[in-house]
Chains A and B, each alone.
Chain A
Amino acid sequence: MDFKDTPEEAKFRKEVRSWIDANAPKHLEAELKRASFGSSGLTSEDPIEAGKAWQKKKAEAGWACLHWPKEYGGGARTAMERVIWSQEEGPYAVLSSPFTIGHGMCGPTVMEWASEEQKEELLPPLASGEEIWCQLFSEPASGSDLAGLRTRAVKADDGSGDWIINGQKIWTSGAQNSDWGLLITRTDPDVPKHKGLTMFFLSMKTPGVKVVPIKQANGASGFNEVYFDDVRIPDAQRLGAVGEGWRVSLTTLMNERLSIGSGMSTGFPELFKFCMDAEVDGEPATADSGVRSKLAQFAVKQSGLKYTGMRAISALSKGETPGPENSIGKLVAGATMQELSMFALDLQGEAGVLWNEDSPQNGRFQAMLMRSPATRIEGGSDEILRNIIGERVLGLPGDIRVDKDVPFKDIPASGKGRS
């Protein structure tokens, strides 16, 4: 039981710290500290360009994708070194958020399923931030029930072996900035749903691909609709065998849980600072017993997540593999952010309704209120995460699946998007 660095860890930390100190874009620090999950907080510079610049710098010095092998542009660092890096990178980590999906999910999938040549071509520019990837999975009628997707891939009838893709994806984060996409399609509607899927990757510049931004509930536009209209791609861009797409997607989804859930903040430190300054009935808010009780419960969630993360890292560093128990990270953080922001607005009284620069902490809690519903949905909804914990951690029976052995084309669906 020890929080101290080992001598090697301390040495590594020192090295990281001095490199970051010498190279980080310090002029952006204040803005980045205002970031809330899902937004960079940057207004003075284009977040994508600033992100690419920081990623490139990191890559040139060997600090990009610390979890990847060196030959693909990674840093081949240990779990503990990755943690130390992220502790030291602090607010600058936000700059790399355009690459989260690529580095955390698409990259590992390509690494596991693509040919050696493809890996050498695709991975280094992804690691160095020259190219951005997106995940083309969800569809209007298939979110949680991903295997219910309808985007069709059909062999071209000219004997070229190429595939012709038609259909629609939705909620695709970062598609508007992406160079490449990881695309899951249906190649056989006559077999049960999980069996007829096939995975591809493609350039987002391929003719027939159209990206349409969606205006979100919080007013931002981070995700998009993506339409495929007779998009032709060569068979060489297939990942895994035809009909094996589900298996390939599991690589992506497992990595998604790892990369999204770990180390998420709940916003508690900011709330606490706010409560230190705010007043309730003429007293500091933190003197009020009701406020204290709420704050304490938020505090133990925040620290519980932090130390759960440290326990996972301790296990990782002993060679154990992280399992489905990591689903609790996003489950707890998402719900806590939402409750916590409501509580902060409550303390602001009727002025809590205002969302401007004069709002406490620049409207941070208003932003969190308006973004947190998404956190409870993206990357597996609260309900899906509870199923995962119930079934895979506690060993409870799976949900009853009425569509299990039914050919996909015979499964009833909610009207929209049926092809």
Chain B
Amino acid sequence: MNLDFSEEQKQLKEQVGRFLAENCPPAAVRAVLEGEQHHDAKLYKGIADLGLLGAAIPEEYGGVGLGQLELCVIAEELGRVIAPVPVASTVYLGAECLLHAGTEDQKSTWLPKIAAGEAIGCWAINEGSGRMRPEKVTASFENGKLNGTKSPVADGAIADFAIVLAKEGSGVSLCLVDLSGDGVERENLESIDPTRSQTKLTFNGASATRIGDAGDGWHIATQVMDKAAILIGFEQLGGADRALEMGRDYALERMAFGRQIGSFQAIKHMLSDMYVSATLARSNCYYGAWALASSAAELPLAAATARVSATTAFQHCAKNNIQVHGGMGFTWAFDCHLYYRRSNALALMIGSLSTWESLLIERMSTGNVEAAA
């Protein structure tokens, strides 16, 4: 048994970390937060040039052909610097969905572009407020044409293609739309985390091709979101660790009543609780990474475990990081709110915390409890 990454994977992590420290300082995140752009295009290109987007894409489709574990370590580093780039939408969801269920044509059209950073994807599942269920879908797909509205769609503003969940006959299907075609309208939406923008996509007879079998859309989407949950879990883990570090550093620097605030137990204990939740999340994410890389039967269980734990940890660390910083933590000038925004936005992406909590228990009920216990 060895619940750890290999030396090569750790080296990759370090390398990616160094690149991002240089190319994605908080100022780059703020430029997207405060500016007109919806992502940092230069950073995204740099990430593509390093081969990171294609890490888990096979070489025949223009990828590097490493694996899911490599993608996990990359995700953690992206999460650490809360990189304002559409990797989750494009790679964890888009590329993984195509690899999982796409036709040869869909794969060879889009995967090489994804790997090269030339095509951005988005995952258009939601339709308004409330937990997503297949019965709620009103968008429809018929005779190669797509109609309806999807909202919110992360990274929809900058995406070249969308993967859309739509009614087809009596079931729901997933389909692929080239967003540069006719019959596509985009409307940008305000959100709590503008560093990963949200959009409303409206389709008026847009041309689309189906991914997988008719009526199999929810099933495929669930499988793809399970895998993405682990990768997003690693992003959350990176963010949680960084928020903890920021809080720790400030607690060492800030003086009150003639002492470092980190010497007050209320602060020290808050930070140690942040460490505890980040550590539990790390361990659960490693379990997820193992399941992802080995396509274990436990994958759905491991995905929900990693997701619930990582969401809880990132929200816990990001909110208490502000608390440790006091008034400074609530200023625009300090970076605490960047992590607070991202922690809350990621908590809702691909299904809210309570959705995943519910899934976890459902999966335990049908599976083997001992596996998780």
Contact = CB atoms under 8 A, between A and B. Distances in A.
A350 interface: no
Contact of B312 (A5, A268, A297): A297
B3 A383 contact: no
Contacts of B268: 386-387, 390-391, 396
A390 B272 contact: yes
Contacts of A83: 1
Contact of A300 (B6, B248, B272, B308): B308
Given A3-B1, A269-B373, A304 B271 contact: no
Contact of B284 (A291, A300, A314, A387): A300
B360 A310 contact: no
A287 B294 CA distance: 31
Give the interface centre of A269, A305, A307, A308 by most chain B CB atoms within 10 Å: A307
A276 B365 CA distance: 7
Contact of B373 (A292, A303, A311, A399): A303
Given A300-B305, A386-B268, A311 B4 contact: yes
Contacts of A395: 248, 252
B369 interface: yes
Contact of A1 (B69, B263, B308, B357): B69
Nearest to B298: A3
For the complex, would chain A's binding face be called helix, strand, loop or mixed by DSSP majority? helix
Given A1-B286, A299-B361, A383-B269, A331 B4 contact: no
Contacts of A297: 308, 312, 357
- Interface size band for B: 35 or more
B360 A1 contact: no
A2 B2 contact: yes
Given A390-B271, A396-B268, A331 B284 contact: no
B283 to A, nearest CB: 4
B7 to A, nearest CB: 10
A394 B271 CA distance: 8
A396 B365 CA distance: 42
Interface stretch (B105-113, B274-282, B340-348): B274-282
B369 A269 contact: yes
Contact of A394 (B2, B3, B272): B272
A184 interface: no
A328 B276 contact: yes
B251 interface: yes
Interface string A274-308: 00100000000010010111011101111111111
B50 to A, nearest CB: 22
Interface string B361-373: 1101100011011
A5 B356 CA distance: 31
A16 to B, nearest CB: 15
Interface in B272-311: 272-273, 275-276, 279-284, 286-287, 289-290, 293-294, 304-305, 308-309
A67 B269 CA distance: 33
A86 to B, nearest CB: 13
A383 B268 CA distance: 10
A396 B269 CA distance: 10
Contact of B280 (A80, A296, A300, A394): A300
A304 B280 contact: yes
Nearest to A331: B276
A80 B1 CA distance: 8
A325 B293 CA distance: 27
A301 B280 contact: yes
Interface in A313-344: 313-315, 317-318, 325, 328, 331-332
Contact of A304 (B248, B284, B293, B354): B284
| Most B Cβ at <10 Å: residue of A286, A297, A300, A302 | A300
B5 A1 contact: yes
A4 B1 contact: yes
B102 interface: no
Nearest to A294: B357
B18 interface: no
B1 A314 contact: yes
A247 B67 CA distance: 49
B143 interface: no
Contacts of B294: 1-2
B129 interface: no
A354 interface: no
A292 B359 CA distance: 9
B182 to A, nearest CB: 43
20 contacts: A1-B69, A1-B289, A1-B290, A3-B1, A269-B370, A286-B362, A286-B365, A302-B373, A307-B286, A308-B280, A310-B283, A313-B3, A314-B2, A325-B279, A385-B272, A386-B272, A391-B268, A396-B248, A397-B262, A399-B263
Interface of B: 1-6, 69, 248, 251-252, 259-260, 262-263, 265, 268-269, 271-273, 275-276, 279-284, 286-287, 289-290, 293-294, 304-305, 308-309, 312, 354, 356-358, 360-362, 364-365, 369-370, 372-373
Given A1-B2, A295-B357, A299-B305, 11 more contacts: A2-B294, A286-B365, A300-B280, A300-B284, A303-B283, A303-B305, A310-B283, A315-B4, A328-B280, A387-B269, A389-B272
